[in-house]
Amino acid sequence: MNRGLRARALSVLAANDRVTYTVPSGLLYPFQWNWDSCFVALALQTVGSPSEGEDRAWRELETLTRHQWTDGMIPHIVFHTDHDGYFPGPSFWGTECSSPAGTPTSGITQPPVLGLVLEQLWSRSSQDDSARLRCRALVEAVNRWHRWFGLARDPQATGLVSILHPWEAGRDNSVDFDRALASVPITDLPAYERRDTTVVAEAERPTDDDYDRYIALVVLFRGLGWDAAALHDASPFRVVDPGFNAILLASDRALARLGPAVGHPEIGDEAARRAAIGLDALSELWSPDRGQFVCRDRRSNLLVDNASIGGLLPVLVLDRDDVRLHHLCTQIEEWLQLAPFGVASQHPADAGFDPQRYWRGPTWLITNHLLAMGLRRTGRDDLADRIAGSSRSLLERSGFAEYYDPLTGAGLGGSTFSWTAAMAIELSMPHPSPLGEVDRLGDREPPRL
């Protein structure tokens, strides 16, 4: 990456830096978001002197985990300040008492990339006593979060967890969720005003109907006092997302390696057990017709016949000799042929594909990053390099947009976006995303079909 781009990425991060945390985007998202902060921490580690960078990266994550709920959940938004630029804000969620820190948060969670990120930070850190202590405390927090997933989101112990709100997937308006979301009743909704469409064109955001249902879920959960068990059983939206589960499994594998390194071998064993069970269970989301994984609606127990990027993310966890990995790579190649600017969020030949509308088609640098991480660990550096190359060309062509049109490369959504800047910095690293060097599967040949 050219030096100018790195300097611009650093200035985006500096503008969004709030000293102990980073906002995704000053106008559109003026608080701390869970998975945004995790990706941003990777870049923060490289800013300033090695000790300054390391300190700032740990701090970003410590700020997030300080707002972990007493039941173990790490919320998707921490409302550190008052700001009326975002809806639904703190008073709408009504969760004030759930985190010991007392700062209001949202009441739902987000894709658990924290374990994955921690391993990367640790592998590049000084690994001195202070780093070990800080990483150890974060490992404990992640392990409590992952236990919470099992209890709160997989009460039948199937090995796979549900999301109860599309915002939890981070892929809010994916075609994957259309049917489940349509079953959310929207009678008796309080009046509310969207803020997102005052900043971003409506055609690039979820529809008003989507929003009504997002808000209806928040109102329902708020009425249940944010009691995790009650939410699970009462939610009309309960979806098992392969992307979300693959991220959780990959993070558990990261904990399995990291636990012993920071003096918690028992956490390592516990995480390894969870990952083994989850990986086995993931098979039930495989669609031979689609050649990829798909969601399952946990209420109807039916698979959702749709090809989204969520179903490609299991490249993070499949073994190199798993034939399904080969199919996923074929899918990624096909998608890139149809839409060359990064991997689209929805199959580009699908009727539901919309290249501009948020998670119904646009490409995102963080999902490109996760796919590339997964591919590298299985020896598909060629495909990972192709994805990384397309991410670079998006940055050069359209700057630090929230997401991009995968057909034209045009920037979409919010501008000067933190996680996009963070991914730009990540792409400039000499050794791209190792995803636990110890997890690389040696020099065995990929399977021949």
Comparing CB distances to ligand DGY, the nearer of 148 and 211 is 211
Task: Supply the minimum distance, in Å, between the C-beta of residue 143 and ligand DGY.
Answer: 24
Task: Supply the minimum distance, in Å, between the C-beta of residue 232 and ligand DGY.
Answer: 20
Task: Supply the minimum distance, in Å, between the C-beta of residue 105 and ligand DGY.
Answer: 12
Q: Nearest 5°: phi and psi at 111?
A: -55, 130
Asked whether position 241 contacts ligand DGY by CB under 6 A, the answer is no
Single out the residue of 56, 67, 76, 146 in contact with ligand DGY (rule: CB under 6 A).
76
Secondary structure (3-state) at 357: coil
Comparing CB distances to ligand DGY, the nearer of 151 and 199 is 199
402 is catalytic: yes
Answer whether the bond into residue 166 is a cis peptide, omega within 30°: no
Residue type, 92: F
Strand partners, 25: 29
Strand partners, 412: 403
Residues between 348 and 407 that touch ligand DGY (CB under 6 A): none
Asked whether position 60 contacts ligand DGY by CB under 6 A, the answer is no
Comparing CB distances to ligand DGY, the nearer of 205 and 347 is 205
Comparing CB distances to ligand DGY, the nearer of 122 and 364 is 364
381 is catalytic: no
Give me the catalytic one of 172, 241, 252, 405.
Answer: 172
Comparing CB distances to ligand DGY, the nearer of 32 and 306 is 32
Task: Supply the minimum distance, in Å, between the C-beta of residue 357 and ligand DGY.
Answer: 12
Question: Which element (helix H / strand E) includes 281?
Answer: helix 265-282
Comparing CB distances to ligand DGY, the nearer of 78 and 317 is 78
What is the DSSP code (8-state) at residue 180?
Answer: H
Q: How far apart are CA 87 and CA 105, in angstroms?
A: 13
Single out the residue of 39, 167, 221, 404 in contact with ligand DGY (rule: CB under 6 A).
167
Task: Supply the minimum distance, in Å, between the C-beta of residue 249 and ligand DGY.
Answer: 23
Q: How many Å separate Cα 63 from the centre of its chain?
A: 18
Task: Supply the minimum distance, in Å, between the C-beta of residue 26 and ligand DGY.
Answer: 15
Tokens 């064109």 -> residue: 201
Q: How far apart are CA 228 and CA 84, in angstroms?
A: 28
Comparing CB distances to ligand DGY, the nearer of 172 and 354 is 172
Q: Nearest 5°: phi and psi at 188?
A: 60, 30
- x/- map, 188-227, ligand DGY, by CB under 6 A: --------x-------------------------------
Sign for the pseudo-dihedral over CA of 416, 420, 424, 425 = positive
Q: Nearest Cα to 281, choosing from 407, 127, 121, 153?
A: 153
Asked whether position 172 contacts ligand DGY by CB under 6 A, the answer is yes
Q: How many Å separate Cα 237 from the centre of its chain?
A: 19
Q: Measure the CA dihedral 386/388/389/395, to 10°.
A: 150
DSSP secondary structure string, 141-158? HHHHHHHHHHHHH-TT--
Q: Nearest Cα to 170, choosing from 248, 240, 60, 244?
A: 244
Do you know the residue count of the chain?
449
Give me the catalytic one of 270, 402, 405, 426.
Answer: 402
Task: Supply the minimum distance, in Å, between the C-beta of residue 273 and ligand DGY.
Answer: 31
For ligand DGY (CB under 6 A), the number of binding residues is: 4
Asked whether position 146 contacts ligand DGY by CB under 6 A, the answer is no
The catalytic residue positions are: 172, 402
| Residues engaged in binding ligand DGY (CB under 6 A) | 76, 167, 172, 196
